């Protein structure tokens, strides 16, 4: 997808860029694959804010994505490539030969009319999904399961890609976008290819209002708050803060390792992610 810019008719237009969505299908989402979505404003079921600086934003419909891809051996055709307001990646509407429809994450290079399939008989080409044990070593993959049958959890956002580095008995080594090398069971599924919508990282919003449309409220720095609200708050002028940067709850930030050394998943990490 290309990047579009505009003539600077207003100050916010001067540096604003948007994605050229001419390659996407201009249609309403498949009604049978959408659900209502209520905004939480960052609050839990007790009404308390658990995620700060969230709220408002445009109303959305949730698109039900097939992250499990368990329908094996039945070819499907890509009907449309669509925008999804709930994620950075685009989604593809596919229709199986038996008439069933589903949404999947659109891989880079996946086009309308392309034929894809799930299962061991599928070719290792973008959009196809199969178990890691059936994927050749060295192939780029995405939408990776952590538990067999649990649905894709890793490498799902725009432009993300992982590499299958090797297989040893029941586990495969996968290099993730962060640089971490992790063991994943060979019965877990993955999609071949890179997640599409690569140019999203180059988009410039141009104004704060576009962030508000997405449901983000202004983020207030800790040093700009009062001492009662943040450990780094208070002080006269710019003399506030001091010491090591911390979260509002006193947890060290900015480089301090906070991962629990006794976390169960530690045994699956071969190499830590790069700083």
Please give the pLDDT value at position 52: 93
Distance CA 141, CA 26 (A): 28
Name the average pLDDT for the chain: 91
| % pLDDT > 70, the chain | 99
- C-alpha–C-alpha distance, residues 174 and 133, integer Å: 12
Q: Is residue 219 part of a domain?
A: no
Statement: residue 240 has pLDDT above 80: no
User: Which residues of the chain form beta strands (DSSP E)?
Assistant: 3-5, 17-19, 34-36, 61-63, 76-82, 91-96, 101-105, 115-116, 129-131, 140-142, 144-145, 152-154, 162-168, 171-175, 181-185, 189-192, 269-271
pLDDT digits (tens, 9 = 90+) for 173-226: 999 999 999 999 999 999 999 998 999 999 999 999 999 999 999 999 888 889
Cβ-in-10-Å burial (0-12, 13-18, 19+) of 202 comes to exposed
Q: Is 217 contained in some domain?
A: no
Total tally of structural domains belonging to the chain: 1
Please give the pLDDT value at position 1: 67
Name the pTM for this structure: 0.86
Per-residue pLDDT tens for 12-58? 999 999 998 888 888 899 999 999 999 999 999 999 999 999 999 89
- The answer to whether residue 256 is domain-embedded is no
Of residues 197, 162, 198, 159, the one with CA closest to residue 179: 162
DSSP calls for 29-64: PPGGGEEE----TTB-TTS-BSSSSB------EEE-
Q: Is residue 76 scored above 70 in pLDDT?
A: yes
CATH of the domain at 146: 2.40.50.140
What the block records as the tokens of 211 is 């962030």
| Residue 247 included in any domain | no
Is 81 a member of any domain?
yes
Mean pLDDT calculated for residue range 246-266: 87
Domain assignment present for 77:
yes
Q: Which domain holds residue 175?
A: 3-201
Residue 239 has pLDDT above 90, yes or no: no
272 lies in some domain:
no
Q: Does some domain include residue 106?
A: yes
Please list the residues that pair with 181 across neighbouring strands. Answer: 175, 271
The residue length of the chain stands at 275
């Amino acid at each position: 997808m290309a990047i579009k810019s505009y003539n600077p008719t207003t100050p916010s237009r001067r540096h604003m860029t948007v994605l050229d969505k001419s390659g996407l299908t201009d249609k309403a989402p498949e009604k049978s694959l959408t659900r209502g979505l209520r905004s939480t404003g960052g609050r839990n079921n007790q009404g308390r804010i658990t995620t700060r600086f969230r709220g408002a934003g445009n109303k959305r419909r949730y698109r039900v994505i097939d992250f499990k891809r368990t329908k094996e051996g039945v070819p499907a055709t890509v009907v449309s490539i669509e925008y999804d307001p709930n994620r950075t990646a685009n989604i593809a509407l596919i229709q199986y030969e038996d008439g069933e429809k589903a949404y999947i994450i659109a891989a880079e290079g996946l086009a309308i009319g392309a034929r894809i399939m799930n299962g061991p008989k599928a070719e290792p080409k973008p959009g196809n999904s199969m178990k890691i044990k059936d994927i050749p070593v060295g192939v780029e993959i995405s939408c990776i399961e952590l538990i067999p049958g649990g649905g894709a959890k890793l490498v799902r956002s725009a432009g993300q890609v992982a590499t299958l580095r090797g297989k040893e008995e029941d586990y495969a080594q996968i290099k993730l976008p962060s640089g971490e090398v992790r063991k994943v069971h060979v019965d877990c599924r993955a999609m071949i290819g890179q997640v599409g919508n690569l140019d999203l990282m180059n988009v410039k919003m141009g104004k704060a209002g576009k962030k508000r449309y997405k449901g983000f409220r202004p983020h207030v720095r800790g040093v700009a708050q009062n001492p009662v609200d943040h450990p780094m708050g208070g002080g006269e002028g710019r003399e506030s803060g001091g010491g090591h940067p911390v979260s509002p709850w006193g947890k060290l930030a900015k480089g301090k390792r906070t991962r629990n050394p006794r976390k169960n998943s530690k045994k699956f990490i071969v190499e830590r992610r790069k700083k």
